[in-house]
Amino acid sequence: MKNARTKAILFILIFILLMAGGVYMAVNGVDDEHVGKAANIPLGLDLQGGLSVTYEIVTENPTNAQKNATRDKLQRRVDQYEGEVYPDGDNRFTVEVPTNGEELDAYALLEELGKPGTLEFLDSENYNLWASGKEYTYILNGSDIKAATAGSDTQDGGYLVKLTFTEAGAKKFSDATAANLGRPIYIIYDNALQSYPTVQTQITDGNAVINNMESYEAAEKLADTITIGALPLELQQLQYNIVGAKLGTDAISTSIKAGIIGLGIVCLIMIVIYLLPGFLASIALAAYVLLMLLVLSVRSVVLTLPGLAGIVLSIGMAVDANVIIFTRIKEELATDKNVKNAVSAGFSKALSAILDGNITTLIAAFVLMALGTGSIKGFANTLIIGIILSMFTALVVTKLLLNAVVNLGVTNPKLYGKAKAPAVKNFVKISRVCVVISLAVIVAGLAFLPINKSRTGSILNYSLEFTGGSATTVEFTEAYDLERAESEIVPVIVEKTSLTAGEIQIQAVEGTNQVIFKTADISVDGDKSATETNAELEAEMGELEKVIRDNFEVVSVNTSNIGSTISGEMRKDAVVAIIIASILMLIYIAIRFSDVKFGASAVLALLHDVLVVFAIYSIARLSVGNTFIACMLTIVGYSINATIIIFDRIRENMKSMPKDDIADLVNMSIAQTFTRTIYTSLTTFVMVLVLFIMGVPSLKEFTLTLMAGIVCGAYSSVCITGPMWYFFKKKLAKEKE
């Protein structure tokens, strides 16, 4: 006993020292470059702003296909920096990259973007012509390259760049290798010889390598520049500006304050409900937040609004894991076990539900990371980090703290609470009414799509990110910073047009009197109508100019038509990623629960939650943009996690309850997990509610729909998921008979 107490005291002291060290690191960093300092976490364009560069297409008579391909390749190049690319007029692209306090890095990146290199593949005859400065022919060039990635050479331990050709490029490369067997093909980039591999056989699979690279960093840099070198169109830089945050000056400060207050309320709820374990969980939650800040800082993860959504979801899952554990402990105490055995059994019985819920969400996150682009990657990145850390704090930190307290002799059951027998209701019967209500909401949401189309010309209220719109650059006679523009100019625009404050993106241009106002299609005097022709769009742009000129002193106003920041390729990638993630989650659940009916029920419940929230967007005409994507992805993760908890309890009860009474099995399982569902939903809802109350206008709609998604997830896990499994089980049983 003394040995256990000594270890407990030692652990608590070490834990306190580690927490103190972590706080010091988060505040000050660990070296001269302040690595680990939380204040140095890089922020995205929506939260901080960055460098905006406009390029003009030099190539004559470019086709739309070439423009789209150029835009998509530029976007993929800046994805890792959470940058954005959008068409600016007919023959321009604007690229925006967050500076993150390191402006020279952003300048260097965008300078590379503006000077795409040339990639050429030459046979021996044309190589000799090239080397002697004479005119030569291409076998292939950069436009034939689909992708380039750095890798390791498993044969000689060196480094290489793997090239994947387009369909047309693969055919050219196949012909070239067939014609040059036993001879080298020379790979030239930016007028410099990179590699000259000898052709051993005809290559028909559309792949090649550039080997003998001096380092992985060199291979990675070449892969990146080749990707840019593969641009179908030649660009030249026209202008650049430093622009402000899209979500406004208060987005970060209010979000931090809201986060602190929300976490405080969550901890209070945990303590009130779960007593001593709740207090220890609050400490573990603080450790989670600290670890999250340190990892984001050390890894230099660019934080955006979708990234914040990923963190909110992972915090909810961290709380959920603790709720599952503590509910189990209270159930064990209700069977008259002592505290030590109850704690051990509680963690053991909660493990499968926690692992399955988190692994299922991780599967979705990794698919989104691999296949998604832009904001989807940002969401997936922070979600992956958050889930791993939340599992660690719940299963390791909370467990060690609880065991230490028990070993110190704090074993009064009153400090831990005892579970009461759950009130079992006929959830299966209730679900019939719930299904009707859900179908009515979903059908209403779908029915509003053609109604919206007839009224406004668009089935949904697509925001600037989806539809494009206008960018009005105003040079005032005096300087307006972002805060002043928000407080003095935006209210006038809102008053005299049909726009809301959340529909206006403002970016102040550093070092000038210029402010950029980005809006979707607008009209004046509240008469919003569909914009179907360029002439109508130009007229509406002129109205915004008129509002600004009539109410403020300006030097110049320049308005241009800009394209969406979410390209068709990005939308397709998002849909494909979510479909693949759903299939993989279904497979995982089916394997883990040895029953495909569990997987099918989970995916259908997930679809239910997404469609209900989609109906809210449709009926209420909420703005559909980057926040829409973040919201839907958060709901997907939250929904699947809630579903897993019900299924885990059904799986457990199947071992002890009569197999012929499936309805009672489902009803009991839902009743046993009901408090978990309510408490987890309540704590996550509270965090988002505080952000809704305190957040900037641009966050209102995002947090509102997120709250709707949380409520919907709780509702479906209780009223839809389990009964749906029951329906499949009974239906298949009857078919077998």
pLDDT given at position 532: 43
Give residues with Cβ within 8 angstroms of 112, minimum separation 6: 225, 228
Which residue would you say has higher pLDDT here, 258 or 130? 130
Model confidence pLDDT, tens digit, residues 610-646:
888 889 888 888 877 766 776 777 777 777 777 888 8
Question: Domain check: are 224 and 299 in the same one?
Answer: no
Model confidence pLDDT, tens digit, residues 676-735:
788 888 888 888 888 788 866 666 777 788 888 888 888 888 888 888 888 888 776 665
Q: What are the beta bridge partners of residue 93? A: 55, 87
C-alpha distances in Å from residue 689, one per residue of 44, 677, 708: 23, 18, 11
Which residue would you say has higher pLDDT here, 315 or 733? 315
**Mean pLDDT estimate for the chain:** 78
Residue with tokens 């403002």: 506
For residue 432, the enclosing domain spans: 251-411+425-441+568-736
Residue 719 placed within a domain: yes
Residue 419 placed within a domain: no
Beta strands in 70-222 (DSSP E): 84-87, 92-98, 119-122, 140-141, 145-152, 159-165, 186-189, 192-195, 207-213
The strand pair at 84-87 and 207-213 is best described as unpaired
Model confidence pLDDT, tens digit, residues 16-73:
898 888 888 877 776 655 566 766 777 777 777 777 778 888 888 888 877 877 777 7
Which of 535, 562, 589 lies at the terminal end of a domain, its last residue? Answer: 562
Residue 416 placed within a domain: no
pLDDT given at position 443: 94
Q: What is the pTM of this model?
A: 0.70
Question: Domain check: are 264 and 358 in the same one?
Answer: yes
- The CATH number assigned to the domain holding 175 equals 3.30.1360.200
pLDDT given at position 598: 83
Residue 103 has pLDDT above 60, yes or no: no
Residue 4 has pLDDT above 90, yes or no: no
Residue 454 placed within a domain: no
Residue with tokens 């077998």: 736
Model confidence pLDDT, tens digit, residues 125-144:
888 888 888 888 887 777 77
pLDDT given at position 48: 72
Question: Domain check: are 573 and 713 in the same one?
Answer: yes
Q: Give the containing element (helix H, strand E) for 462.
A: strand 461-462
- The CATH number assigned to the domain holding 100 equals 3.30.70.3400
pLDDT given at position 442: 92
pLDDT given at position 626: 65
Question: Domain check: are 110 and 126 in the same one?
Answer: no
Residue 553 placed within a domain: yes
Residue 57 placed within a domain: yes
Residue with tokens 């996690």: 641
Lowest mean pLDDT segment, chosen from 88-102, 383-397, 504-518: 88-102
Residue range 250-260: average pLDDT?
Answer: 74
Question: Domain check: are 382 and 508 in the same one?
Answer: no
CB half-sphere exposure, 586, CA atoms < 13 A: 15
b/e 416-443 (16+ beta carbons within 10 angstroms → b): bbebeebeeeebbeebeebbeebeebbe
Question: Domain check: are 161 and 25 in the same one?
Answer: no
Which of 538, 562, 586 lies at the terminal end of a domain, its last residue? Answer: 562
Give residue 251's pLDDT band: very low, low, confident or very high (50, 70, 90).
low
Residue range 442-453: average pLDDT?
Answer: 90
Give residue 118's pLDDT band: very low, low, confident or very high (50, 70, 90).
low
pLDDT given at position 217: 75
Which residue would you say has higher pLDDT here, 84 or 33? 84
pLDDT given at position 447: 92
Question: Domain check: are 343 and 200 in the same one?
Answer: no
- The CATH number assigned to the domain holding 533 equals 3.30.70
Percent of the chain with pLDDT over 70: 82
Residue 526 has pLDDT above 50, yes or no: no
Percent of the chain with pLDDT over 90: 2
Give residue 444's pLDDT band: very low, low, confident or very high (50, 70, 90).
very high
Model confidence pLDDT, tens digit, residues 190-242:
677 877 878 888 888 888 887 777 777 778 777 766 666 566 777 777 766 66
Question: Domain check: are 110 and 124 in the same one?
Answer: no
pLDDT given at position 326: 87
Number of domains in the chain: 5
Give residues with Cβ within 8 angstroms of 548, minimum separation 6: 472, 474, 489, 493, 517, 554, 557
Which of 562, 578, 593 lies at the terminal end of a domain, its last residue? Answer: 562
Alpha helix segments (H runs only) across 552-622 = 568-592, 596-620
Question: Domain check: are 270 and 350 in the same one?
Answer: yes
pLDDT given at position 336: 82
Nearest alpha carbon to residue 306 among 627, 538, 602? 627
Residue range 341-369: average pLDDT?
Answer: 85
Residue 645 placed within a domain: yes
Which residue would you say has higher pLDDT here, 93 or 256? 93
Residue 596 placed within a domain: yes
Which residue would you say has higher pLDDT here, 558 or 130? 130
Question: Domain check: are 654 and 732 in the same one?
Answer: yes
pLDDT given at position 107: 59
Dihedral through CA 96, CA 102, CA 108, CA 114, nearest 10? Answer: 10
Question: Domain check: are 578 and 663 in the same one?
Answer: yes
Question: Domain check: are 498 and 599 in the same one?
Answer: no
pLDDT given at position 523: 40
Rounded distance between C-alpha atoms, residue 84 and residue 88, angstroms: 12
